[in-house]
Amino acid sequence: MLPLLAATLCVNASFAAPAVQPAHKVIVDMDIGDDIDDAFALALLLQSPDIEIVGITTAWGDTALRGRLLERLLRETGHAGIPVAQGIVTTNNPTPFTQARYAQRGQAPAPQVSAVDFILREAARQPGQITLLALGPLTNVGAAIARDKASFGALKQVVMMGGSVRAGYRKSQYVPSRPADKEYNIASDVKGAQALFNSGVPIVMTPLDSTQIRLDEVERNAIFGHGSPVTDAITLLYHQWIDAYQPWSSNMPSLFDVVPVTYLIDPASCPVTPLHITVTDEGYTREGAGKPNAQVCLASDQPRFFNVFMQRLLK
């Protein structure tokens, strides 16, 4: 009986449940309220139990109004406990705040330290554990590095949407991409981007090459008809975005900022290549010789991307 019992135990052990992986701890630095991709990215984060949002910092333009947008969205979706810290205000934002009406019905978030202080404080308190998810111009990031490079260096990594390495903007996946462009997030604050790529912190970069994924009508209708608090919120924000941009743009949004989120959840959705990236003074992100300073996703696996994105939003 003992050999049989031992064999049984071994078989049972081989079918034991895999160890639960700890959640990714993230600070999200974002310019939500202009383009609509930030809202979809935040929705996916909120629907992902394997991601712990340590806090959200507002970046670029009217960062106070962005905070009110986040306060309303988080409160109405049952996530009011997530801290929101205001980032550095800038006055040279050329992009309209398309979702201002939604934001104006929000309240100022509970007082926090500034975005820069929040990033540095949490990185120092939890060294090697915090991922900074950078989804907007890198003003807060550059200021944090200038303030305390050592504390910023305690971040586990920066996962960012930004840059254009081998392909630029395109209007459709059925037409060729332009050559590498000055991408918006990088070109808006070149000094901040240069500081990040020279910081020595591990970087995962999702540039235009891999992030121009369109959300077509079938997926949009499934999301907008789902009826959960999170999908209802992004439905409202989407329609304010459309109202502000039409007739100048397509109603098919590009999910730029969602790609780095899906990478965190499923790295195979955006395979990376080690590259040495230099940010030029004109705002280009050039690959060249030298020790790699970034892991760069040059092409997304779109079926895997949509598998993560749609299943989580509709669960």
Q: Which residues contact 115 (CB under 8 A, 6 or more apart)?
A: 29, 57, 58, 59, 63, 85, 86, 87, 88, 140
Whole-angstrom distance, CA of residue 140 vs CA of residue 58: 9
pLDDT level of residue 251 (50, 70, 90 thresholds): confident
| Mean pLDDT rounded to a whole number for the chain | 92
pLDDT number for residue 11: 40
pLDDT level of residue 174 (50, 70, 90 thresholds): confident
pLDDT number for residue 246: 65
- Annotation: CATH topology of 21-313: Inosine-uridine Nucleoside N-ribohydrolase; Chain A (3.90.245)
- pLDDT digits over 278-294, tens only? 999 999 999 999 999 99
With a pLDDT cut of 70, the percent of the chain lying above it is 92
Q: Does residue 25 contact residue 130 with C-beta atoms inside 8 Å?
A: yes
pLDDT number for residue 307: 97
Across 120-132, average pLDDT: 98
pLDDT number for residue 159: 98
pLDDT number for residue 247: 53
Q: What is the 3-state secondary structure (H, E, C) of 157-210?
A: EEEEECCCCCCCCCCCCCCCCCCCCCCHHHHHCHHHHHHHHCCCCCEEEECHHH
pLDDT level of residue 14 (50, 70, 90 thresholds): very low
Taking CA 30 as the corner, what is the angle to CA 72 and CA 243, rounded to the nearest 5 degrees? 60
Is cis: bond before 247, omega within 30 of 0? yes
Least confident window among 36-50, 196-210, 249-263: 249-263
Least confident window among 39-53, 161-175, 202-216: 161-175
Q: Is the pLDDT reported for residue 145 higher than 80?
A: yes
pLDDT number for residue 16: 45
Least confident window among 9-23, 24-38, 78-92, 298-312: 9-23
pLDDT level of residue 94 (50, 70, 90 thresholds): confident
Q: Which residues contact 30 (CB under 8 A, 6 or more apart)?
A: 38, 41, 42, 56, 57, 58, 59, 66, 133, 135, 136, 257
Across 168-178, average pLDDT: 82
| Helical ranges in the chain per DSSP H | 2-14, 37-46, 63-76, 100-104, 115-125, 139-147, 149-152, 184-188, 190-197, 208-211, 217-224, 229-245, 258-265, 302-313
- Which helix or strand (DSSP H or E) is residue 274 part of? strand 272-279
With a pLDDT cut of 90, the percent of the chain lying above it is 85
* Largest CA-CA distance found in the chain, in angstroms, rounded: 79
Closest Cα to residue 146, out of 85, 93, 189?
189
Amino acid at 259: V
Q: Does residue 60 contact residue 90 with C-beta atoms inside 8 Å?
A: yes
Closest Cα to residue 206, out of 153, 282, 134, 137?
134
Taking CA 157 as the corner, what is the angle to CA 153 and CA 160, rounded to the nearest 5 degrees? 120
